[in-house]
Amino acid sequence: MGEQTKVSARVTGQRDGADSGAPPVIDAAFARWLADRAGQELLRVRAQMGHADGKALKAAGDKAAHDLLRAELARWRPADAVLSEEDEHARVAWREGEPDTVRPDRLGASRVWIVDPLDGTREFSEEGRSDWAVHVALWTADSSSPACLSAGAVAMPAQHRTIATDNPPAYPPMPLESATGGAIRIAASRTRPPAFVTALAEDLGAELVPMGSAGVKIAAVISGEADAYVHAGGQYEWDSAAPVAVALATGLHASRVDGSPLVYNRADPKLPDLVVCRKDLAPRLLAAIGKQLRTQ
């Protein structure tokens, strides 16, 4: 089926479902719609359960958002593959020739939704915290977009904010401190900042800005609340695909910590490190990161 035919089929299906709240046809707007829907579901679960049992709240939130995303994708994008953090065996790397392993369908698909139903689960379970998010990204094999991420949305429902590639945020302004050689601000984990990032900040004389959720950290760089997000403590594709899609659409730098490109929908979904920052900071930051890597 050609792309135009597939789009026409989706349009027809969505017109048929107009009475039941049909989503946008365009993928980028659909990603925003989907992330917002899952975000509202998470707010509902949080309000319904309260915070007395954080473990139960985390589990209920993960399941509710995952089920909603899976159901809506099956309904409105039935031909597309999905890679979700909450899918069974999603973290397992597929290796050709190994016995008892089944090649994931997504590796032969031309369109793959990479989703994290609840990024920042710990923060979601803590009363009053707003640094958690829903990630929805679309990887397409023939995309000309950087990293083949043709659409992406990050919903931060407790902040009443969603950023997405259908209407990318403006490029963040350079703060006065950065422009005059002052300390830069690096978004970092509030509970487990990697030793690599702590050492990097000391070397640069940078300030670590603690917060939860990779999506919220990258959103902070996009909005100018932080100058950079550097991570080297282990992540998977769903942790970064959606916020990186928005950051790249905004015009920011995003790469592995060694400066190599970010690649998605691989046999091994582990994507352990990344750096997102304004382009003017990238040479300085990558040089300092390279120095840290050589000392490890």
What does the block give as tokens for 27? 């993928």
Q: Dihedral sign for Cα 71, 249, 263, 10, please.
A: positive
What does the block give as tokens for 122? 């710990």
Assess if residue 286 is contained within a domain: yes
What does the block give as tokens for 73? 């994708």
The answer on 32 and 143 residing in a single domain is: yes
What pLDDT was estimated at residue 215?
A: 96
The answer on 181 and 159 residing in a single domain is: no
The answer on 203 and 110 residing in a single domain is: no
Assess if residue 4 is contained within a domain: no
Assess if residue 171 is contained within a domain: no
CATH number for the domain harbouring residue 135 = 3.30.540.10
Q: Is 273 annotated as a binding residue?
A: no
| CA 51 to each of CA 19, 42, 47, 225, 236: distance values in angstroms, whole numbers, following the listed order | 36, 13, 9, 28, 27
Assess if residue 14 is contained within a domain: no
Q: Domain total for the chain? A: 2
What pLDDT was estimated at residue 262?
A: 97
What does the block give as tokens for 274? 């990344």
Domain containing 211 equals 176-295
Assess if residue 2 is contained within a domain: no
> What amino acid is encoded at 188 in this protein?
A
The answer on 46 and 157 residing in a single domain is: yes
Q: Is 116 annotated as a binding residue?
A: yes
The answer on 218 and 157 residing in a single domain is: no
Q: Is 80 annotated as a binding residue?
A: no
The answer on 151 and 32 residing in a single domain is: yes
Q: Is 293 annotated as a binding residue?
A: no
| CA 129 to each of CA 51, 221, 242, 252, 275: distance values in angstroms, whole numbers, following the listed order | 11, 19, 21, 27, 25
What pLDDT was estimated at residue 16?
A: 39
What pLDDT was estimated at residue 13?
A: 40
Assess if residue 16 is contained within a domain: no
The answer on 230 and 133 residing in a single domain is: no
What pLDDT was estimated at residue 189?
A: 85
Q: In a structure prediction context, what are the per-residue pLDDT tens digits for the chain, which is 296 residues long?
A: 344 334 434 433 443 343 457 899 999 999 999 999 999 999 999 999 999 999 999 999 999 999 999 999 999 999 999 999 888 777 778 887 776 678 888 999 999 999 999 999 999 999 999 999 999 999 999 999 999 999 999 999 999 999 999 999 999 987 777 777 778 999 988 877 778 888 999 999 999 999 999 999 999 999 999 999 999 878 999 999 999 999 999 999 999 999 999 999 999 999 999 999 999 999 999 999 998 888 86
Assess if residue 112 is contained within a domain: yes
Supply angle C-alpha 18, 24, 28, rounded to 5: 165
Q: State how far the Cα of 242 lies from the Cα of 87, in Å rounded to an integer.
A: 17
Assess if residue 118 is contained within a domain: yes
The answer on 180 and 160 residing in a single domain is: no
Give the strand order in the sheet containing 133-140.
81-84, 111-119, 133-140, 149-156, 161-164
The answer on 183 and 143 residing in a single domain is: no
Give the pTM: 0.90
What pLDDT was estimated at residue 245?
A: 98
Helices (H) and strands (E) in the chain, counts: 9, 10
What pLDDT was estimated at residue 12?
A: 37
The answer on 211 and 112 residing in a single domain is: no
Locus of tokens 């409105």: 76
The answer on 148 and 89 residing in a single domain is: yes
Residue where a domain stops, chosen among 136, 164, 192: 164
The answer on 148 and 191 residing in a single domain is: no
What pLDDT was estimated at residue 19?
A: 42
Q: Is 36 annotated as a binding residue?
A: no
